[in-house]
Amino acid sequence: MVSVVVSLLYSLRLLIRSRAALHLEIIALRYQLAVLNRSRRPRLRLTPADRILWAWLSQAWRGWRAAVHIVKPETIIAWHRRGFRLFWTWKSRQRTGRPGVPPAVRALIRQLSTANPLWGAPRIHGELQKLGIPVSQSTVAKHMRHHPRPSAQTWRTFLTNHANQIMAADLFVVPTVAFRLLFVLVMLAHDRRRLVHVAVTEHPTAAWTAQQLRNAFPERGARISPA
């Protein structure tokens, strides 16, 4: 009785499933039998074609897990992932970017940069555009010849070398007890932070500032004039 019920359930299952799924299951089972008969050894031998077939079935057939018996479903999933990685590795090797710069254009860029050391990439790019050569400014900067420039002294070195010739000036406001505002001009020498000149006024003007500079530097006072 139990066997009859099982047979009926199995027949009902076959009727419910689609005809395409049934054919795929028959093909999968027969193929596994063929692989077992072909191996004839304790260890199963699978070819790349076998792995490709099962990787394709795992994507094209929803019920493939119930039909596989010679390997684990996780193994087939690993095959599919490996094939996916190999496919994208092969596809990424194809050159699909911008075409390379012709050797003649590269030689022209180096020639222009060598003959005109003061020209930068924007100037050379503009000259090439006038000649009808379609290259980008970044390409010009990549292939142009870069001339070595003499190293300039740092700001700290400049201040150290000219500290005795540099003066600092500041104009700030001081409120008094009577709520008046006084403007204070202070000048300091950089070498020793020496106080050079101090002046106070209620109404600072350009003429007053020029006069304070004359007072602070009497030897150069004749050359200082208000703006």
Note the pLDDT tens digit of each residue in 83-138: 888 878 877 776 656 677 888 999 999 999 998 888 889 999 999 999 898 888 98
**Residue 65, H or E segment:** none
pLDDT for 187 equals 92
pTM beyond cutoff 0.75: no
Q: Please state, for a pLDDT cut of 70, what percent of the chain lies above it.
A: 81
Residues 6+ apart with CB under 8 A from 32: 68, 69, 70
DSSP 8-state assignment for residue 163: G
Residue ranges in the chain assigned as alpha helix (H): 2-16, 19-39, 48-60, 73-92, 103-115, 121-130, 137-143, 155-161, 206-216
Residue 128 CB burial class (10 angstroms; 0-12, 13-18, ≥19)? buried
Q: Kindly report the average pLDDT of the chain as a whole number.
A: 79
52 neighbors 86 (Cβ within 8 angstroms): no
Q: Tokens for 136?
A: 């980008």
60 neighbors 21 (Cβ within 8 angstroms): no
Query: Given pLDDT bands bounded at 50, 70 and 90, which one contains residue 2?
Result: very low
Q: Tokens for 161?
A: 């070398």
pLDDT for 184 beyond 90: yes
Label residue 142 left, alpha or beta by phi (over 0 means left) and psi (-120 to 50 means alpha). alpha
